[in-house]
Structure formats: structure tokens, C-alpha cells
Structure 1
């Protein structure tokens, strides 16, 4: 026979697990200590194993308790999301997508992809946050985002991945730079010049430093910036060269009188990936968006 769990018992169990005390869990849940203890004992009876180690320091989870905490959190979070989404349907909103993405994705095709999806599904609501690759992975892992977009050199840390698009990394130089007369440059030669470096947690910085390391070189950098706009402004004053996706650089070429040099490297075509805790477990609205991103990649 399958074991049956009621939601209140799971909420009480999570309160005890977090607070490490039946008394404090009772205060949070507005229940008597005896009622809290009874619920925990009933859960342990169903599981057939102790969920807590009880000692002078309080209640500590056993391996069985840690497993139950993991699944109970997922279950209650999913129910909360279900209630929220169903409430939004009643308010005329047909779905809610929490998307975290790296800057270079939002600065290129992703914004247009969101607009295209909203043309087809105008009642969907998006919460979009721009983050570094590592922050995107953390947000998806912790359930603060449903779907993330990262660069291929950002570790996915156990998340499921699906190819989104590719972008081309290029070298940006001012019109007066010694390389400005060139159409292309090798990475080893580019490393002989000063760089305007991107944010150290960005996927672009990770790729830049990894490829320099493979050549046994260090990046020459005096200035580090946190946005592509600032990077292009700095490059335009000939303070250094930039390492940037071509699609991000394109709108700045005329404005700042910059040149885009093709990188003669096979790795310059960088893949971008969608990440989720489970693609199959995405709610229908987010899954439809992910499927569209997968179909529309170029």
C-alpha cells in the first residue's frame, strides 16, 4: 500500500527540521508541543524509521529525515506554484514564467524571443532577471527561477540543459587601435594587448580566462567593468580591447566608432544553454516557452 501524507504534517516536519526544536515549531505553527510531537511520531511510523536524532542540542535530521525534507520542500513548493498559477488564470493571466539569463543572451536574441512568445500568448507574465552565469545556476537550483540561460563554460551543477543558441565572440577595438586595419586576429596575438575585462563572474570572463590559461598566458587588464555598454565606451577611448559577442557589439560599432575583428579560433562560436531542474517537470507555460526557444535557435 502506498504511504499517504497530509500537508499539515509535512509543514510541521519542515518547521521542526528548520528550527531544531518541537517547542519553537509549535510557536511557529500555532500548535501545542504535544500536537507537534504526535505529528512527527506519526510520520516516523509511516516511514518506518526515525526522522530525527533527539539530544540536548535539539532535533537533528537522520538520513531518512534529510530525504523527507528534500521531497517535502519540492512538493510544498510545487503546490504553492500551482495555487499561484491557478489564481492567475482567474485574474486573466495565463501562466507565469520566472526567467534568469546572462547579460549577453538578453542583449541579443532572447529579448526578441520573449516578445515573439508574448505575441502568441499575450496573457503570459514574465519575471526576467539579468544575472551572471553562476547566479543563474544558483537561482534555478534553489527554485527562484524556472528556467535559466547560461554560457557553455558555466558549470550547470546537476541541472538539465538544452541547447538554446550560439553566438560568436569577437575582439572589439577602437578605430585608432593598431589592430583596427585587420578583419581577423588570433587569440594569442590579441593577448599581447591590454583588455577591458568583463565582470569576473560572467560567462564571457570565464571563457576569456580559460582560453588564456590553455595558452599558458595571462590577460593584461587594468580596467574591469560590469556592463557591455561600459566596456564599449572604454574600448572607444583606446584604453584597451574588448572580448564580446558580435551581436552585443553590433549596435555600438557606429556609435562609438569601433571595429569588430573575427577571432580565428574554433571556440569563438559559443553555445548558450537553457537550464532547469527538470525540463520534463516544467509547468506547461514554461515548457512551451522552452520548446519555442529550442525550435527557433539558429
Structure 2
């Protein structure tokens, strides 16, 4: 049994207009061609779809059921076209992914290259921001998809867990904190720090926590990335806070001690967030599915 989607659309046009003639016109075919196509549909299913009247046509009971299924099939067909469109060689999609510092430096540089190689017609623009700003952008509609920290309230958004992403404190091997296994931020706030540049979202989050404790962090040096921070800390300049994933990666390059930080703000998760994942453009849904399939733990 072969089903022609053009015939289904013709059938729905006839219903919408209440006329075989007008349905044919809307489908841009002749009345005779339209009549033959409908006749073949009726023969194929051994049913009558319409009852003919002087004022036009009306659906039979079988025709009403057929109309419901035809609408579903056409909706699925259009969805299939949209999903497949991102693979077409002459179709380019631009996706903007908002992300915090940790996602930008520790996850996406490893994930996105193979994704982009497999999908040469997708372009990704990464926009780094603090989680609070990403949430506001998603609320306002200026952002469609973001990787955010679970520490911030995002209950009004749809979120899916992407990865555990705890923060740790690192210190020089011979530092007085070297024997500690766990610490609260308040216990180290008076030590000199090495940090990221002020514009980094993670640095803003750390400083916000210090302010809530009534302190201001004293920095001996600010640097642009975690690699530079690890090198300076290993040389004995100060202590620093960074994602555990970054510390684990860098400890093979630079000698420093790693200490767990207590508190919800530090034992965070990375969440993929959107207002409504089902309403996202197909290219965004495709990227979302890819990111969630990686299941980082």
C-alpha cells in the first residue's frame, strides 16, 4: 500500500474549503486530477470519504476518521522534514549556547569538535556568562539554551542534569592547608588568593559567596584561565578555587594539593536549561540531545 502525502494534503484542502473544486485550486491541480486522486484513495481503503451534494462535499464517518489520521501523518511528515533539514548540505544553522566558566573551559572544548565535524552545517556561538545572567536571559527569551550551575534557583525553567561539577580549593604542596581534606570557604577566606579575571562568571560567583560571609577576597594575582592559575599556585603564590574537573586535569602538570569544599554552592551540578525543550528549534534540540548523551559524572 502506497500513501501519497500530496493526496493527504489535497484531502485536507477539500475539507477546509468544503469544495472539491476549491480544494483542487488550493493544491494547484485540475479538478479532474483532484477527483481521480480522491477516487484512488477511496478505492485503496474501500471506503467513501465524501458524500456529494449540490452545495459541495461533506465527510462521511469514515472520512472523519481518515481526516484525523491524515492530519497526524502530515504533522509527523513536517517534523521529519525539519529534523532532516539540519543534515542537508546546503542548510546552515546557527546555535548560541550560553554557558558558565566551567562548562566553557572543561567540557565544551572536548565535546564540540567531534559534534561539529559530524555536523558541518551547524555553527555554534558560545556565550560565557554567570549562571544568574543565563537564567535571566532564558526568562526574557534572549537565550534559548544554557548550561548553568544547580546552585541557583531555576525551578521556573526546564532543566536536565548534564554533569556533576563540584568546586575544590587548590594550594601549594607545602602550604599550611596541605593536610586538610575538607574545608568551608569561611576557613580560608583570609588567605591570599589567585583568581580568574573579574569578568569570568565563576570568579563572580566565588566573590558573591565571600560577600555573603561578610568578607572580600584578597587577590595576589588574577589570570585568564585555570591552567595559568594552577601553575602560579604550584609555585607557591597563593590558593585558588576551581572546578574539580579542571584540578584533576591539571594536577598531572603542576604539583598542588586539592581540598574538597563544603556547601551547596561548591557541590554543584551543571544543568542544561531551556524555557521549554520541546519548543526549541530543531538545531537546538539536536545539540541538546548530543550534550545529554555524554553523561559526564
- Note the C-alpha offset of 1:245: 0.4
Tell me the residue number matched to 2:128: 131
Give the aligned partner of residue 198 of structure 2: 200
Conserved? CA contact 1:164–1:272, under 8 Å: yes
User: Mapping of 1:14-33 within 5 angstroms?
Assistant: none
Q: Relative to structure 2, which stretch is displaced further, 232-241 or 211-220?
A: 211-220
CA apart distance, 1:167: 0.5
For 2:204 and 2:153, the matched residues in 1 are separated by 10
For 1:187 and 1:98, the matched residues in 2 are separated by 34
- Does the 8 A contact of 1:101 with 1:129 survive in 2? yes
Q: CA deviation at 1:137?
A: 5.8
Cα displacement (A) at 1:128: 3.6
* Contact persistence 1:252–1:258 (CA under 8 A): no
1:236 aligns to what? Answer: 234
Considering only aligned residues, what root-mean-square deviation do their CA atoms show, in Å? 3.6
Corresponding residue for residue 178 of structure 1 = 176
Which ranges in structure 2 are unaligned for 5 or more consecutive residues? 1-81
Q: Structure 1 residue 243: deviation in Å?
A: 0.6
Alignment-derived partner of residue 256 in structure 1: 254
Larger radius of gyration: 2
Q: What is the CA-CA distance between 1:160 and the residue it aligns to?
A: 5.1
Structure 1 residue runs without a partner (length 5+): 1-82
Q: Is the 8 A contact 1:196 1:231 kept in 2?
A: yes
* Alpha-carbon spacing, 1:128–1:191, altered in 2? closer, same or farther (3 Å): same
Residues 150 and 203 of structure 1 are in contact (CA less than 8 Å); yes or no, is this contact kept in structure 2? no
**Aligned pair in 2 of structure 1 residues 104, 200: CA closer, same or farther (>3 Å)?**
same
CA distance in 1, matches of 2:210, 2:97: 31
Matched, 1:114 2:112: yes
Task: Name the structure 2 match of 1:286.
Answer: 284
C-alpha contact 1:93 1:123 (8 A) present in aligned 2: no
2:224 to 213, 223, 226: 226
Structure 1: distance between partners of 2:234 and 2:127: 25
Provide the C-alpha distance between the structure 2 equivalents of 1:155 and 1:225, rounded to a whole number of angstroms: 29
Q: CA deviation at 1:249?
A: 1.7
Answer whether contact 2:134 2:146 (CA < 8 A) is retained.
Answer: yes
Quick one: distance in 2 between partners of 1:248 and 1:166?
A: 13
Structure 1 Cα separation of the partners of residues 166 and 177 of structure 2:
19
TM-score, normalised relative to structure 1: 0.58
Number of positions where the alignment pairs a residue of Structure 1 with one of Structure 2: 214
**Residue in 2 aligned with 1:275?**
273
* 1-structure distance, mates of 2:222, 2:265: 23
Looking at structure 2, the residues matched to 213 and 176 of structure 1 have their Cα atoms a distance apart, in angstroms, of 28
Q: What is the TM-score with the length of structure 2 in the denominator?
A: 0.58
User: Which of 168, 181, 184 in structure 1 is aligned with 2:166?
Assistant: 168
